[in-house]
């Protein structure tokens, strides 16, 4: 079991789009195992490969008893709208209200290259969108409205000042 450290805001890997997976060998299997072990820690709903330093298009999810992963995910369908509190392991201490689709279907493949489809609403829909964004080098704060973004920037500056003053 390998729980990998989470990369934090400021690490360039988080702002770099991940490459599609083309090699389905042992290295990919180890990466998926590490993602699954790391997302299985308490308080974690989803984890993209770049959050643990790997530049491949893979994420794992752990929402409401549903645990899994998707390789080369694509958001295939969305419907409705929801607004709710969102946070990110890579930006600790920050949460903000974010608008997302209410229902989402993501398609991709598994470790054997077989098609995978994951669909859901509520928190699962939020997670699937959040992790797919990560793989494009986007963070949840990028999609906040203007007022929320300003509040997040203030909080991040305060955190940096507090940490810098130690």
Per the DSSP assignment, residues forming a β-bridge with 60 are 47, 69
Sorted by sequence, the CB contacts under 8 Å of residue 148 that are 6+ apart come out as 96, 97, 98
Distance (Å, rounded) from C-alpha 166 to C-alpha 150? Answer: 25
Say if residues 21 and 57 touch (Cβ distance below 8 Å): yes
86 in catalytic set: no
DSSP string of 63-75, one letter each residue: ETTEEEEEEEEEE
Active-site pick, 41, 83, 86, 131: 131
Q: Helix count (H) and strand count (E) of the chain?
A: 3, 7
- In eight-state DSSP terms, residue 144 is S
In b/e form, how buried is each residue of 16-50, taking b as 16+ CB within 10 angstroms? eebeebeeeeeebeebbebbbebbeeeebbbbbbb
Distance (Å, rounded) from C-alpha 116 to C-alpha 110? Answer: 6
Active site residues: 131
């Amino acid at each position: 079991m390998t729980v990998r450290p989470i990369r934090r805001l400021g690490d360039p890997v988080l702002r770099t789009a991940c490459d599609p997976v083309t090699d389905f060998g042992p290295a990919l299997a180890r990466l998926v195992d590490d993602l699954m072990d790391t997302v299985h820690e308490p308080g974690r709903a989803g984890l993209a490969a770049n959050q643990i330093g790997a530049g491949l298009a893979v994420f794992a999810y752990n929402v409401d008893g549903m645990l899994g992963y998707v390789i080369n995910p694509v958001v295939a369908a969305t419907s409705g709208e929801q607004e709710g509190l969102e946070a990110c392991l890579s930006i600790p201490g920050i949460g903000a209200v974010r608008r997302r689709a209410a229902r989402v279907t993501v398609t991709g493949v598994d470790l054997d290259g077989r098609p995978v489809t994951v669909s859901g609403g509520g928190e699962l829909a939020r997670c699937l969108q959040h992790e797919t964004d990560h793989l494009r080098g986007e963070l949840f704060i990028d999609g906040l409205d203007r007022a929320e973004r300003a509040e997040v920037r203030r909080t991040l500056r305060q955190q940096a000042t507090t940490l810098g003053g130690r």
